[in-house]
């Protein structure tokens, strides 16, 4: 990871630590997510695999960009575009009410990102202020796709109870 100079720790989660870093080749500021690999269990966490595979497909102005994936020294690094803060930190630092125009802008951007995901049959499943990143220009991007799922026509078999429930939900209750 000689290419990246860690500048500061941004946050920490279940599977790793996020740093603000400088890409020494491009001089760009990036977010560097270091994933802990636990070789006693299953190696790369499923959340990291999901996040990588989905973000490689989901390229949109309101979804955080995954730039690179690097494995080195039994660690996995995800290199993301860097945004200044998350929505929770922004709300906590604002004095007074957030203006209606800015709220409208945030909601529009959030809906655009969600719409893009849903059109590609992806459910985020963990939308919260900490996973909505904002830059200094007021651009919002959805982040942390570790719990996201692709959805489609169910391919696995269900028990009769689940199949009946699904059929009733889809077609409605039969009239006798």
Residues labelled as active-site residues: 126
Using the CB atoms, write b or e for 149-163: b if 16+ within 10 Å.
eeeeeeeeeeeeeee
Spatial CA neighbour of 32 closest among 52, 8, 50, 53? 8
The DSSP H or E segment spanning 113 is: helix 100-119
Residue 76 CA to residue 69 CA, distance in Å, equals 7
Do the annotations mark residue 9 as ligand-binding?
no
Binding residues for ATP: 33
């Amino acid at each position: 990871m000689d290419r990246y100079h860690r500048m500061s720790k941004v946050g920490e989660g279940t599977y790793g630590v996020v740093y603000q870093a400088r890409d020494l080749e491009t001089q760009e500021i990036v977010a560097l997510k270091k994933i802990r690999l636990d070789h006693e269990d299953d190696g790369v966490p499923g959340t990291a695999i999901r996040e990588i595979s989905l973000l490689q497909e989901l390229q949109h102005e309101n979804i955080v960009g995954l730039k690179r994936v690097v494995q080195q020294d039994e660690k996995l690094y995800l290199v993301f575009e860097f945004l200044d803060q998350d929505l929770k930190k922004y709300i906590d630092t604002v004095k007074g009410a957030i203006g209606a125009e800015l709220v409208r802008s945030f909601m529009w951007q959030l809906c655009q990102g969600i719409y893009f995901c849903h059109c590609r049959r992806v459910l985020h499943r963990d939308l919260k202020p900490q996973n909505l990143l904002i830059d200094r220009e007021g651009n919002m991007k959805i982040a942390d796709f570790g719990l996201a799922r692709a959805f489609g026509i169910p391919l696995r078999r269900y028990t009769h109870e689940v199949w009946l429930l699904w059929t009733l939900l889809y077609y409605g209750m039969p009239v006798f």
